[in-house]
Structure 1
């Protein structure tokens, strides 16, 4: 199940189309639907989760996947693998329900839920022998364990 935020001010169809056109993409109805879905998601979502929501509305899985790749290639979306060999996608646009900067994720190894973590929860200290990409935050940080729901908190 995908967590969706309704706190973000909904964008009009014209605003969503303008975002796509500004990045050089055609503003197709399927692309607009994918963009709006990602804008409302509060956690990274897989292609399967997106398809479960949007294929009943008339779009096929292949079209939705191509749209995710197109949005990634123009820098509107980030693609991440949390170690389960399943790509997940998150919007990188201000005003979305999801953080737009680099940030750590927590992955539950029991149920597979992904949570965005505040930067303060993970501290990286520059030390001798640490790759430059790590010091520059040029890596994806993912912590694994059991979420509160799975440990019965």
Structure 2
């Protein structure tokens, strides 16, 4: 019998069981199988954290949360890359040389949306309610393919602090 890894914050199984219902776990198992990935506790935990995140998450932010539970940084990173390569996560680089990851809603298969980056504090926000439509003149001949839209400016907290 394999013993469970105990951590100061409980163990991986307790954490995962508190986050995922049985139907959710089964659904994720099927999704992972469809893209050719094994279903592991680390993968399930990474997916669950990203599904619950309201903004894209960096490896460092995710590792800070999962290392105390017994997952190591390299495992978290490998899973982020594998899940992104399999098309389950979107990998975003916002000009600060930090990859951030977000879950791609499997129901729609896309959920593409612009992001806002505060140039003062570095906070990132998803702008899911914002829709961009390129005019007819801005065809593929002019721009090529637009794959991501990033808005930069000062967030409301930084604007308020500056005044």
* TM range, smaller chain: 0.7 to 0.9
Residues matched between the structures, number: 138
**Equivalences for 1:88-103 in 2 at 5 Å?**
88-94=100-106, 100-103=110-113
- Larger Rg belongs to: 2
The alignment status of 1:52 with 2:64, answered yes or no, reads: yes
Write the deviation string for residues 87-116 of structure 1: whole angstroms up to 9, x where unpaired. 0001112469xx942211110111111111
The alignment status of 1:32 with 2:44, answered yes or no, reads: yes
**Equivalences for 1:1-80 in 2 at 5 Å?**
12-80=24-92
**Larger helix proportion of the pair:** 2
TM-score by length of 1: 0.80
**Residues 148 and 38 (structure 1 numbering): CA distance in 2 closer, same or farther, change over 3 Å?**
same
**Residues 124 and 63 (structure 1 numbering): CA distance in 2 closer, same or farther, change over 3 Å?**
same
Which residues of structure 1 form unaligned runs of 5+?
1-8
1:64 & 1:23 partners in 2: Cα distance? Answer: 18
1:126 & 1:146 partners in 2: Cα distance? Answer: 31
Helix, strand or coil: the match of 1:12? helix
Is the 2:118–2:154 Cα contact (8 Å) retained in structure 1?
yes
RMSD: 2.4
Please identify, of 55-64 and 15-24, the stretch whose mean Cα deviation from structure 2 is larger: 15-24
Higher relative contact order (CA 8 A, sep 6+): 1
